[in-house]
């Protein structure tokens, strides 16, 4: 079995020194012959993954965050080449949704132990996303985060607070499931997976292979009620919040008053005022555990935080 390993050296905050050796050694024992490559700039992962598909490789293993996974998976959709995720990013939303531990050793173990499963992806105006797409506040945070020199969770939290201080909700017309609504919203998120990353659950009950997208609209509220949405997102209780409207659909159109900021899997970009989004059913093969426990508010977020804590302690122990 032949695979290409794509490493994004700047993703997350951890050093990638020795990662190539670790992955090739760990996976050669189960028959993988691995060619190591590094990204040098935005877009490289798509090019490297497309080459692997063309050369008939069985898999591409991507070591990075959601941006790197998005670029890599972009080239693999509809092909026989499977994606392996080695989570090294700041948020790692797709890995977390799929039950892949946020640890290099444990992530490699998933590739070693599991068979690829087929998941959905989605497109907005023809561009692919795998985790979440958003317009409004989350897009503004992604843009602010991209400007920062440092990456990682703390920088993300800093970007969120800075953006919140001066953010103004916008007007959107949303058409889905034969219904049309127009309203001012804090953000509109269209989700293939349940979270932005870092256990921030914007669509806690999203299923990644159901052919449907989970839409979360956060209405404009006052400072306190909007801050409570953030809290509910962290405990996985967002659907009970009075500012939230959620529904599921295979396709959705969003119209806004002007072209502007958006994000695809946390990567900021500028898109048209008219946005056509649709789900593509089970078109990507990815190494991940086949089944996961159903999402339970408080319990699932608490166990995810505990898992993160245990991994951090293990890392300290390994270093010692
Ligand atoms: N060598 C490089 N130098 C600078 N940027 C790079 C390089 N290689 C890839 N990139 C870009 O780095 C960006 C960030 O990568 P990625 O999203 O994987 O990490 P992250 O933002 O830390 O994690 P997450 O998306 O999970 O929050 C992507 O837009 C990617 O295209």
Please determine, for residue 129, whether its predicted confidence score (pLDDT) is greater than 80.
Answer: yes
14 CA to centre of ligand 1 in angstroms: 13
Kindly state the average pLDDT of the residues 150-167. Answer: 89
Task: State the DSSP code for 29.
Answer: T
Number of CB atoms found within 10 A of residue 164's CB: 16
Instruction: Give the ligand 1 atom nearest the CA of 151.
Output: 22
- The overall average pLDDT reported for the chain is 94
CB-based burial label for 114 (10 Å; 0-12, 13-18, 19+): middle
Q: pLDDT over 90 for what percent of the chain? A: 86
Q: Specify the 3-state DSSP secondary structure of 230.
A: helix
Beta bridge partner(s), residue 83: 60, 286
Work out whether the CA dihedral 198, 94, 165, 238 comes out positive or negative: negative
Whether the model clears a pTM of 0.90, i.e. scores above it, the answer is yes
> Kind and range of the H or E element at 12?
none
Q: Is the ipTM of this complex over 0.90?
A: yes
Kindly state the average pLDDT of the residues 209-213. Answer: 98
Please determine, for residue 8, whether its predicted confidence score (pLDDT) is greater than 50.
Answer: yes
**106 vs 69: CA distance, rounded Å:** 17
Kindly state the average pLDDT of the residues 177-190. Answer: 97
Please determine, for residue 320, whether its predicted confidence score (pLDDT) is greater than 70.
Answer: no
| Ligand 1, pocket-test mutation among 6, 42, 44, 142, most atoms within 8 A of CB | 42
pLDDT confidence band for 286 (50 / 70 / 90): very high
| Ligand 1, pocket-test mutation among 39, 44, 158, 198, most atoms within 8 A of CB | 39
What is the total residue count of the chain?
A: 320
224 CA to centre of ligand 1 in angstroms: 33
Q: Could you report the per-residue pLDDT of 54-94, keeping only the tens digit for each?
A: 999 999 999 999 999 999 999 999 999 999 999 999 899 99
257 CA to centre of ligand 1 in angstroms: 30
CB-based burial label for 193 (10 Å; 0-12, 13-18, 19+): buried
Number of CB atoms found within 10 A of residue 198's CB: 20
Cα→Cα distances 44→33, 201, 225, Å: 21, 29, 41
**7 vs 11: CA distance, rounded Å:** 9
Buried b (16+ CB within 10 A) or exposed e, 26-41: bbeeeebebbebebee
Question: Considering only 74-78, 88-92, 190-194, 278-282, which range has the smallest mean pLDDT?
Answer: 88-92
| Binding site membership of 134 for ligand 1 (Cβ less than 6 Å) | no
Q: pLDDT over 70 for what percent of the chain? A: 99
Task: State the DSSP code for 81.
Answer: P
Q: Could you report the per-residue pLDDT of 9-26, keeping only the tens digit for each?
A: 999 888 899 999 999 999
Residue 319's pLDDT is 55
The second-level CATH assignment, the architecture, of 127-281 is Sandwich (2.60)
Q: Where are the domains of the chain?
A: 2-122+282-319, 127-281
> Which one, of 125, 122, 246, 252, lies nearest residue 178 by Cα?
252
Q: What single string gives the DSSP state of each residue in 99-133?
A: T--SSHHHHHHHHHHPPEEEEEEEEETTEEESSEE
Kindly state the average pLDDT of the residues 187-212. Answer: 97
Instruction: Give the ligand 1 atom nearest the CA of 71.
Output: 31
**164 vs 157: CA distance, rounded Å:** 11
* Strand-strand pairing, 213-219 and 244-249: antiparallel
Question: Between 319 and 38, whose confidence is greater?
Answer: 38
Write down the H helix ranges in the chain.
19-28, 44-54, 66-76, 93-97, 104-113, 137-147, 153-164, 223-235, 299-319
Instruction: Give the ligand 1 atom nearest the CA of 13.
Output: 22
Please determine, for residue 206, whether its predicted confidence score (pLDDT) is greater than 80.
Answer: yes
* CATH domain 2-122+282-319 topology: Rossmann fold (3.40.50)
């Amino acid at each position: 079995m032949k695979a290409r390993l794509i490493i994004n050296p700047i993703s997350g905050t951890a050093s990638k020194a020795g990662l190539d050796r670790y992955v090739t050694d760990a996976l050669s024992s189960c028959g993988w012959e691995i060619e190591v490559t590094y990204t040098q700039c935005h877009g490289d992962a798509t090019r490297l993954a497309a080459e692997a598909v063309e050369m008939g490789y069985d898999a591409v293993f991507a070591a990075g965050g959601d941006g790197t996974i998005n670029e890599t998976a972009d080239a693999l959709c509809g092909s026989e080449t499977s994606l392996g995720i080695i989570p090294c990013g700041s948020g790692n939303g797709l890995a977390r949704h799929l039950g892949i531990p946020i640890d290099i050793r444990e992530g490699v173990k998933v590739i070693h132990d599991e068979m690829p499963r087929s998941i959905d992806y989605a497109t907005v105006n023809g561009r692919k996303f795998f985790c979440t797409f958003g317009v409004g506040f989350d897009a503004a945070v992604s843009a602010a985060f991209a400007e920062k020199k440092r990456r990682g969770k703390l920088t993300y939290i800093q970007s969120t607070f800075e953006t919140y201080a001066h953010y103004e909700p916008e007007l959107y017309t949303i058409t889905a499931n034969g219904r049309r609504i127009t309203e001012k919203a804090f953000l509109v998120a269209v989700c293939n997976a349940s979270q932005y990353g870092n256990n921030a659950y914007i669509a806690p009950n999203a299923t990644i292979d159901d052919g449907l997208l989970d839409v979360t609209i956060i209405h404009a509220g006052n400072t306190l009620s909007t801050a409570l949405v953030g809290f509910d997102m962290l405990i996985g209780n967002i659907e009970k919040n009075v500012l939230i409207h959620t529904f599921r659909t295979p396709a959705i159109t969003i119209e806004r008053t002007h072209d502007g900021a958006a994000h695809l899997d946390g990567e900021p970009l500028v898109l048209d005022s008219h946005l056509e989004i649709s789900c593509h059913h089970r078109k990507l093969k990815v190494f991940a555990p086949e089944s996961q426990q159903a999402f339970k508010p408080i319990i699932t977020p608490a166990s995810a935080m505990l898992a993160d804590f245990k991994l951090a302690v293990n890392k300290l122990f390994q270093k010692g």
